[in-house]
Structure 1
Amino acid sequence: RRRFRPTAGGSAVTRALRRHQPEFVLHFSAPPGSEYQVTMWLPYLERIGRPFVVMLREPEFLPAVAAATTAPVVYCPTLRTMDEVLVPSLRVAFYVNHGAKNSHCIRFTQLTHVQLHHGDSDKAPSANPVSAIFDRIFVAGEAAVDRYARAGVEIPPEKFVVVGRPQVEAIEVRHQPTRGLTNPTVLYTPTWTGHHADADYCSLPMAETLLRRLLDRGATVILRAHPYTNQHPGSARRLARLHELLAADRSRTGRQHVFGAAASRLTLAESVNRADALVSDVSGVVSDWLYSGKPYAVTDTGVDGDRFVERFPLAATGYVLRRDMADLDDVLTRLLDTDPLAEARWATRRRYLGDFPADSYAEAFLSAARRELDPAWTAPAPRTTTDDAALPTAP
């Protein structure tokens, strides 16, 4: 009884947090190698301009997350330690995935619980019915709302808030189509195999054929694999083979392919900005790339055939690469040469990423987050013109 009795005034952590007066908490639980899910959000949570605390449920994330923020980062292995961290000043809890331990925090009904996700894609997990337990679901665009409806997941529309995808603000936009590319730089982003067969969108089994054909066309390749890739032995072997292939071509031709540790040091935005075109599996990378306006191809690793675009609508303004690679040359010609879908991508971009001004794109998220913290808060009215000469002068 003495061991479980709260100490007078709370623990040292509780006392420190009461002094800090955090207004929101970021709750995070995930398998090893998932720290990217939370680090992608930390800069934007800091820009909200309110004190907050990060609550981790697994200790291995402490070094990476603590290095990525100036906010307090606390490891809470038990429900009791969570009780010590959830001090009275907290009003909102943010989440970046659908981890099972999220339910441990959602039991605190005095908080508003907001799901942020860690990417926007047409993958099945992006329309997880578990989303319904949150008070708010921040989504990048109207396409995400449609995705839940298409999956038969009924969620009250008032729970959805379209905030864009603030992480894309660092991506450079190419407004004019670039056709007839010679010696292009191509970003290839294979995803992982997923936990279940129906969520396996990984193209690594057919990737060597793809890369060899890109090299034949004089392409420089940026190979950016999913962080979970090495957890699957077969995927790890295939990825190592691709690294060998690119290293050999670099020695022979001098083309500066980027892969392995060098690729992991680049942010996704830096990778996108270096590339002229993308080849990706069904994943959130495609949505982020869409912001650039540049062409992309999506791999169909299943047996959907004509239904592939129906299941994954974002592929409609990309070039679909079939599992048997029978259309590979045609796809690469459209991707790197003719790009017939260049104009159609802009409408898709608005549906998936919102229609927010480029120079203040992240403000949609920041304003929405501040409203949850303070319902009476309103954003300042935007300027109606960027032409200073058109503004009235002082008398």
Structure 2
Amino acid sequence: MQLLSPVLRYAAKVLPIAVLTASFAAQAAAAVVPHLALLIAATAANLLAEASLHRWWPGQVSLLAKVRADVMVRRLTCDFLLIVGLLRLGGYHRETEYLPLVLGLLFFYALHFAGHAAAIRVRALRTMPLLTRNIDASALRIAPAPPSLLTRRHGPRLLLFGLPATAGLLVTAASDEPEFASAGIAVSAALAAVSLGRLVWCLVRRRPSSPEEVLDWFDGWLADYRPTVGMYFSGGASSAYQANMWLDALAGLDGRPLIVLRERFMMQRIGATDIPIVCIPKVSQLLRLEQSTLKLLIHPANSGKTSQILRIPSIKHAFVNHGESDKLSSCNPYAKAYDEVWVAGPAARERYALADVGIEDRDVVEIGRPQLASITPYTGPPTGAYTTVLYAPTWEGWDGNPGNTSVILAGENIVRALLADPGVRLLYKPHPMTGSVDPLAGAANDRIQALIQEANRGRTGPRPGPQAAAELARRTSELHRLTDASFRDDADDAERMLVQSTPEPGRAEAVTAATAAWEAAHWASLPAAEHQIITTPQPALYACFNEADLLISDVSSVVTDYLAAEKPYAVANTSDMPEDLFRDAFPTVGAATILTPDAAGVAALLDAVRHPGNDGLGAARAALKLQLLGPSDPPSQARFAEAAIGLCEVADEHRARMSNRLLAAIPTQRGALEEAEAADEEQLEPTPEG
């Protein structure tokens, strides 16, 4: 059963292409033989396979396009095989009757080609050189986008508009009446003509501002807003959480914050915030920030595009990371590129010193972890019927180290041991990138989820009443109202930019309150005995921390953050290291229970959680928290703000020095210019002999 799901997914992925290939072969055979029933069945199968590909398997559509079997080739092949079938079924003596059908089809495809060209032009005109959010963009004259079927969905448009023509040809094949095919082709041509007219109208009417006008508008906005601090972020679709965890901390700084992104898709993945956001894809436009008042950018992650923003000398850069762990990636030599490295506590400072990657101790600043303010502290052992255990393994990483994640070697054993205890309620929250590098991790993750689902089938217990579900629905609606910009389904990036203008005052605080209320309603709506698989952004990791009595994880930043609550935790050792070496190599596990891949220690771990007298690690957790996260006074947000002020002052001093040097250089340059002009004039004066 565990292998069946991947097999079924692979079969579902291959089936549409197999049906498509078989339908073309059957169409060709039916046209040559000829055979009417087979021709109709093969064409219907072809259309169904095409529709399923575009609806559920867009990746397969791209794969076919790479081998020059794109949707245009496939639709032309299908329709002209029908024409061949018509000729064979009706007799070649009717060529003159069917010639207009061929010409009509050609006319339809010509209209489609023209419409496709117009759609490309419309998309180009509506592609802004930059995108913004939480900024009033009404001055840019952005009109609503045309329907996406006309501009962005070439394949479905051709399939839908060509359907009447295909249906008409089939009816003509069955009835031997060309009028049906003529009518179908006429309808298809009319749809294509209307589509073309709609796109041409978009081209000739008032269009959005030109790229130069957009850039000038943004320069004006920068001059008016005068940002001082900001966050720079670039990454893949699943990495947005790295930036989202710093939103509240950035918003809490004094000054005028700004978020700078590089990927267009990231605009909709950044969480609810009132901070102005700008996406600047091109380097040449990114460098315009040098002329702004921006003094400081924090960086939650390294990326290939980070070096492009580091070129700007007038902005200071601080690497804040998206979490701290004992992994080597937490001490990346790339950090040398930043002006300062901001870490949580003394342990990270020592980590950089031991790693010897070129980071000077004077450039390391301890700020704590501002994000952890919402984590509730330990209040004692579980008091309800169930002990809630959060299993939050990290992902496999890029380096192929089997000790990175416990999912592959230990995950199933850990989950089986937890599920075997009837007093455990399991929350399973895998890292969102699990399986993105190693398929073994993805397969193990699937098997773990299957184990949990199977265990839930045998769990019984009271379920919340309808009031809990109603409350969750109400809270969900409220949160959706606050965080969703209510885009039209056909809105493109330009229109979204217009809709996501300046937020209402106090929206950020309202979202925070609504999120907390939703989380409370979410947990209250769940059966107390039911295990949970959490793969969605909500409930967030820290909400799971507050719900859990025990964490089981890997060597990762999850452990560091969880220590803020000083609750018991365990770390899986899948590195083949003896336990004493494992603790020495990874200080974050110093106050943890170490689990081997066979998960033999789970029962004793649960006993220690339920009976604190058997837990000898409480004092160690308190000491390790201080070492990893630093002191609680002053609060982390205050230390974060102090570090920002300090680096902004450094930026001001640097700008002042550069300005003074420029002013000092101007007289020298002017004198050199005057001397050069005098020398030129002297050379031009006529000599006495001349």
CA separation in 1, counterparts of 2:314 and 2:531?
51
Shift in alpha-carbon separation, 1:264–1:69, aligned structure 2, 3 A: closer
1:347 — aligned with what?
A: 623
Tell which has more relative contact order, 1 or 2 (C-alpha 8 A, sep 6+).
Answer: 1
- 1:91-124 residue CA offsets vs partner (Å, 9 max, x unmatched): 1121111212211111111111111110011111
Match of 1:270 in 2: 543
Partner of 1:92: 296
Q: Which moved more, 1:6-15 or 1:251-260?
A: 6-15
Distance in 2 (CA, whole Å) between partners of 1:35 and 1:58 is 11
Corresponding letter in the other structure for 1:186: V
1:348 shift after superposition: 0.5
Q: CA RMSD in A?
A: 2.5
8 Å CA contact 1:319–1:334 kept in 2: the answer is: no
One of 637, 645, 651 as aligned partner of 1:362: 637
User: 1:182/1:302 Cα in 2 relative to 1: closer, same or farther (>3 Å)?
Assistant: farther
In structure 2, the partner of 1:11 is 216
SS in 2 for 1:266: coil
Deviation at 1:375, TM superposition (A): 6.2
Higher deviation after alignment, 135-144 or 96-105: 96-105
Once the 2 structures are TM-superposed, how far is the Cα of residue 10 of structure 1 from its aligned partner? 5.4
2:593 to 303, 306, 319: 319
Deviation at 1:247, TM superposition (A): 2.4
Per the alignment, residue 240 of structure 1 pairs with 446
Question: Deviation of residue 160 (structure 1)?
Answer: 1.1
What is the SS of the residue equivalent to 1:362? Answer: helix
Structure 2 residue aligned with 1:39: 244
Identify which of 422, 431, 438 aligns with 1:226: 431
The change in CA–CA distance for 1:225 and 1:69 in structure 2 (over 3 A counts) is: same
Amino acid in structure 2 at the alignment position of 1:357: D
1:118-129 pair list within 5 angstroms: 118-129=322-333
Distance of 1:181 and 1:354 partners within structure 2:
33
1:134 maps to 2:338: yes
Larger-Rg structure: 2
CA distance in 2, matches of 1:170, 1:344: 22
Shift of 1:260: 3.3
**Contact 2:563–2:625 under 8 Å retained in 1:** yes
Q: Which amino acid aligns with 1:208?
A: E
Counterpart AA for 2:456: R
Measured in 2, the distance between the counterparts of 1:42 and 1:7 equals: 31
Q: How far apart are 1:156 and its partner, in Å?
A: 1.7
Aligned equivalent of 1:309: 583
Determine the structure 1 residue equivalent to 2:199: none
SS in 1 for 2:278: strand
Q: Distance in 1 between matches of 2:638 and 2:451?
A: 43
Please state which structure has a larger fraction of its residues in strand.
1
CA-CA distance at 1:288 after TM superposition: 0.6
Q: Does 1:110 align with 2:314?
A: yes
The residue that corresponds to 1:292 in the other structure is: 565
Tell me, in whole angstroms, the C-alpha distance in 2 between the residues paired with 1:276 and 1:178. Answer: 7
Offset at residue 287 of structure 1 (A): 0.4
Deviation for aligned residue 1:376:
12
- Is contact 1:48-1:370 (8 Å) kept? no
What is aligned with 2:277? 73
Letter in 2 for 1:371: G
Distance 1:24 1:87, change over 3 A: farther
Q: CA deviation at 1:82?
A: 0.3
Q: CA deviation at 1:199?
A: 7.4
Q: Does 1:372 align with 2:647?
A: yes
Which residue in 1 is equivalent to 2:414? 210
Cα pair distance change 1:271/1:227, threshold 3 Å: same
Whether the 8 Å contact between 2:295 and 2:651 is mirrored in structure 1 is no
TM-score with structure 1 setting the length? 0.86
Please give the alpha-carbon distance, in whole angstroms, between the structure 2 residues aligned to 1:19 and 1:355: 39
SS at match of 2:625: helix
Question: More displaced, 17-26 or 142-151?
Answer: 17-26
Q: Is the 8 A contact 1:181 1:336 kept in 2?
A: no
From 7, 11, 29, give the equivalent of 2:234: 29
Q: Give the drift of 1:326.
A: 4.5
Query: Greater CA deviation, 203-212 or 334-343?
Result: 334-343
Q: CA deviation at 1:354?
A: 0.6
1:332 shift after superposition: 4.4
**Which residue number corresponds to residue 258 of structure 1?**
532
Cα distance in 1 between the residues matched to 2:446 and 2:406: 14
SS in structure 1 of the partner of residue 565 of structure 2: coil
**Residues 224-262 of structure 1: CA distance to partner in whole angstroms, max 9, x if unpaired?**
11110142433223222222222232232141222134x
Retained in 2: the 8 A contact 1:299–1:323? yes
- Counting only pairs closer than 5 Å after superposition, residues 153-192 of structure 1 correspond to structure 2 as 153-174=357-378, 178=381, 183-192=386-395
Amino acid at match of 1:308: F
Cα distance in structure 2, aligned partners of 1:200 and 1:50: 43
- Distance of aligned partners of 1:48 and 1:304 in 2 relative to their CA distance in 1, 3 Å threshold: same
**Segment of structure 1 superposing worse, 24-33 or 296-305:** 24-33
Deviation string, structure 1 residues 354-391 (Cα, Å, up to 9, x no partner): 11238x442221222233224699xxxxxxxxxxxxxx
Match of 1:382 in 2: none
Change (3 A) 1:164 1:319: same
Q: Partner of 1:11: helix, strand, or coil? A: helix
Partner residue, 1:393? none
Instruction: Judge conservation of contact 1:224–1:264 (CA < 8 Å) in 2.
Output: no
Instruction: Give % identity.
Output: 30
Where structure 2 has 5 or more consecutive residues not aligned to the other structure, the ranges are 1-210, 461-528, 653-690
- Report the alpha carbon displacement of residue 182 of structure 1 after superposing the two structures with TM: 6.5
State the secondary structure of the residue aligned to 1:340. coil
Tell me, yes or no, if the aligned pair for 2:389 and 2:424 is still in contact at 8 Å: yes
Deviations 1:149-175 (A, max 9, x none): 222234222111111011111001116
Correspondence for 1:283: 556
The letter for the 1-side match of 2:230 is V
Amino acid at match of 2:393: P
The number of residue pairs the alignment matches comes to 368
Structure 1: 4+ residue segments shifted above 6 A: 179-182
Separation (CA, whole Å) in 2 of partners of 1:174 and 1:330:
20
- CA distance 1:247–1:179, change in 2 (3 Å): closer
The gaps in structure 1 that reach 5 residues or longer are 1-5, 378-395
Of the structure 1 ranges 108-117 and 145-154, higher mean CA displacement relative to structure 2 is found in 145-154
